[in-house]
Amino acid sequence: MTSQPHGGPTFSLGQPTLHRLVRRGISTALLCAGVAATAAAQAVATPPSAQTTPLPAYVPTGHTIKYEKDIQAFLNADRTSPPPKDAILFIGSSIFRQWEQLGPQMAPLPVFNRAFGGSHTWEVLHYVDQIVIPYQPRFVVYYCGSNDVNAKQDAAGITTRTQAFFERVHQALPSTILFYVDIQKAPDKRANWGVVDSTNAAMSRYAKTRSTWVRTIDLNPVLFDAQGQIRGELFRPDSLHFVPPAYTEFTAVIKPALEKAWTKR
How do residues 20-79 score in pLDDT, each as one tens digit? Answer: 433 554 444 444 444 444 444 444 444 444 445 899 999 999 999 999 999 999 999 999
CATH of domain 68-263: 3.40.50.1110
Closest alpha carbon to 209 in 170, 253, 156, 183: 170
- Note the pTM of the prediction, 2 decimals: 0.80
For residue 177, give the nearest of 209, 140, 130, 152 by alpha carbon.
140
Kindly give, in sequence order, each residue whose CB lies less than 8 Å from that of residue 144, ignoring residues fewer than 6 positions away: 91, 92, 93, 119, 120, 121, 124, 162
pLDDT tens-digit map of 193-233:
999 999 999 999 999 999 999 999 999 999 999 999 999 99
The answer to whether 89 touches 137, Cβ cutoff 8 Å, is yes
The phi and psi torsions of 41 (rounded to 5 degrees) equal -65, -40
> Using one digit for the tens of pLDDT, what is the confidence trace for 70-120?
999 999 999 999 999 899 999 999 999 999 999 999 999 999 999 999 999
Instruction: List phi, psi (to 5°) of 88.
Output: -115, 115
